[in-house]
Amino acid sequence: MNPLDNIRVVLVGTLYTGNVGSSCRAMANMGIRHLRLAAPNLQNSWDEGLRLAVHATDILENREEFASFEEAVADCIAVVGTTAREGLYRQHVKAPRDCAADLLALAEQGPVALVFGREDKGLLNEEIAQCTHLIRIPVDEGYTSINLSQAVLITCYEFFTASGRYEPPHEKAPPAPQAQKMQLMKNWSQMLCDIGFMKPIQAEHFMQGFHRVFSRGVYSKDDAALLLGVARQAIWTAKQVKNEACQTEKGK
């Protein structure tokens, strides 16, 4: 079972349909599909919400609406409130990253609600009191207010990441064996001599630098300068060959 299927995003007292639509898009990005609106107090039409949902209109259209916060979370085995405010009963908050794995484990057993408050004043104290967990997105203390849909995106991202469902791309080709690397160095050395970047007597010195670059990548200014020198010499040599070819063609 995919525990993300048991995550319920609950928006409480939401004012603007655009934030609902943007939240749907954020949810879809993170593989979370179930949206609930608790006592919505929408001030505009659904045109904006549909526009900002983009390709997540199915989440918007399949939303569930409840008359109260209590009804929206009644079937949930964990109610996770989000809060940016300080207070006596908000001191046990955790960052989403610090509790996402544990909450996903709970979601394997039943619905878990991720609750987001009103755009203008967040969750009320009586709603906070009904939450089993509290989370706060870490932000700079100079400005702690986060747009509703951004808060949904960040929180859902942490849950998606904790689910382990994302597999980063990996190199398809196997690592190069040492013999192939040494052949590369040999051919590279010959090429540098052929284009006039160095003389054979200088090869041992220069190839030490190229060994370093090929082993760790272009890291230092010296590394970059070394490769830039090769590029400039190769460009100059190519021009010379091209000019000679043009002169030969004209002489025919």
pLDDT digits (tens, 9 = 90+) for 74-88: 999 999 999 887 765
Please report, for the domain that includes residue 93, its CATH number: 3.40.1280.10
- How many helices (H) and strands (E) the chain has is answered by 10, 6
CA distance linking residue 92 with residue 103, whole number of Å: 15
Of the three residues 111, 132, 163, the one that is the final residue of a domain is: 163
- Same domain for 134 and 220, yes or no, is no
- Same domain for 143 and 238, yes or no, is no
Segments forming the whole domain that contains residue 157: 3-163
Query: Could you tell me the pTM of the whole model?
Result: 0.80
Residue 116 falls within a domain, yes or no?
yes
- Same domain for 97 and 152, yes or no, is yes
CA distance linking residue 119 with residue 12, whole number of Å: 9
Residue 173 falls within a domain, yes or no?
no
| pLDDT, average across residues 92-103 | 93
- Same domain for 13 and 125, yes or no, is yes
CA distance linking residue 60 with residue 235, whole number of Å: 57
- Same domain for 201 and 125, yes or no, is no
- Same domain for 152 and 72, yes or no, is yes
Residue 168 falls within a domain, yes or no?
no
- 12-62 residue pLDDT tens: 999 999 999 999 999 999 999 999 999 999 999 999 999 999 999 999 999
Total domains in the chain come to 2
Strand partners, 11: 37, 116
Of the three residues 133, 163, 193, the one that is the final residue of a domain is: 163
- Same domain for 35 and 144, yes or no, is yes
Of the three residues 123, 138, 163, the one that is the final residue of a domain is: 163
pLDDT attached to residue 233: 95
Q: What is each CA distance from 239 to 31, 169, 195, 235, 244, in whole angstroms?
A: 54, 39, 11, 6, 9
Note the residue count of the chain: 252
Q: Is pLDDT above 80 for 92?
A: no
- Same domain for 151 and 182, yes or no, is no
